[in-house]
Structure 1
């Protein structure tokens, strides 16, 4: 088995009521839990990422401190290390996750490939160690961290699927554009029901 699941940034600050909450975020968390309940055995490796920003600086300009955020390159403070906003959403069952990646520690970071686990190892090292060649991607937000993670996975030579029923984005237009871009990059745009079909 050479398939991995990437769960991108399913955190309180990116779900409804959070600092940068997206509509449908909580439903994505619950949907990923259902996926893991039914299909954990389909994956050799499950990796989850979290933004884990520093509290005492602007994280390399990522946080808008003295100006209004532009919601493109600068953002309100979010997912500050050690706060409730940085924790996984309660509807995401984390018991099936093998590797936890933290990213954005003092710097802007969107892709899961920009982070490390507690031991300082990268996602790339985890993929190589297990011979992963295929990755399914779910999580938040479609038009930012999901997009960046998929593009990097494709760049690393992985065969990538993004499950459109298990992602949610900041805005409809930019999310649609992101999915189109990811499709053109070589990623397969699908729904998680393909796992049920494959099992039949």
Structure 2
């Protein structure tokens, strides 16, 4: 179920007061963390990191910024799982109908404990689930690899959001894809590097360069004073 119908009047009022800035917390889920011994754990995603993300999200919420989240939510027979490809190996890169596909260990399977978001769900105005279509991977919170859009753009526009702060897991995949698609959709985007973790240093550095090339602002850490005018 996609929680796209949770709209609180108080949060909408605060969004306007906060300068039409919204926050997207990307894929901070058990399977992506070392803390929860996830099947696709990203280095550095221990309890301390998740608590840092939790604290920052709580602070932004108290300051009046509406918080949204993306959640990987795959069926068991998802195309990205190496176990669904005879002879396939984890992290192998293959071609499927002309598309490049990384084969991942099964992760964030619908209804499993480690598919859950580790940040307090009560902070979110809406949670948008992605990767639900067996046929397509979906790193971005805005659309999958087949071009099918999620509800997030409609939700943001409905709440008057024009600027977006993005952070979460992983810098070089879901954070990058979500931030770039947001920029392409006309939003002004800020990524907080210190609230992200990447799969690999090389691809994370490349992702930051790609985001900067798209006009996305990158900060090392969250700055509550500067964020009001980014």
- Tell me which interval the TM-score lies in, with the shorter structure as reference length: 0.7 to 0.9
Instruction: Give TM-score scaled by structure 1 length.
Output: 0.87
Note if contact 1:46-1:98 (Cα within 8 Å) is conserved in structure 2: yes
User: 2:152 maps to which residue?
Assistant: 123
User: 2:39 maps to which residue?
Assistant: 19
Note if contact 2:142-2:150 (Cα within 8 Å) is conserved in structure 1: no
Compute the displacement of 1:69 (Å). 2.4
Matched, 1:93 2:120: yes
Segments of 5+ residues of structure 1 without an aligned counterpart are none
Larger radius of gyration: 2
User: 2:140 maps to which residue?
Assistant: 111
Q: 1:95 to 1:155 in 2, by over 3 A?
A: same
Compute the displacement of 1:194 (Å). 1.8
Note if contact 1:6-1:48 (Cα within 8 Å) is conserved in structure 2: yes
Note if contact 1:5-1:43 (Cα within 8 Å) is conserved in structure 2: no
Encode CA deviations 1:55-112: one digit per residue, 9 max, x unaligned: 1x1x2x21112210235521111100011120112xx222211101111012311101
How big is the alpha-carbon RMSD for the aligned residues of Structure 1 and Structure 2? 2.0
Segments of 5+ residues of structure 2 without an aligned counterpart are 1-15, 94-101
Instruction: Give TM-score scaled by structure 2 length.
Output: 0.77
1:181-192 maps to which residues of 2 (within 5 A)?
A: 181-192=210-221
The size of the alignment, in residue pairs, is 190
Alpha-carbon distance in 2 for matches of 1:11, 1:71: 23
User: 1:153 maps to which residue?
Assistant: 182
Spell out structure 1 runs of 4+ moving beyond 6 A.
Answer: none
Q: 1:129 to 1:44 in 2, by over 3 A?
A: farther
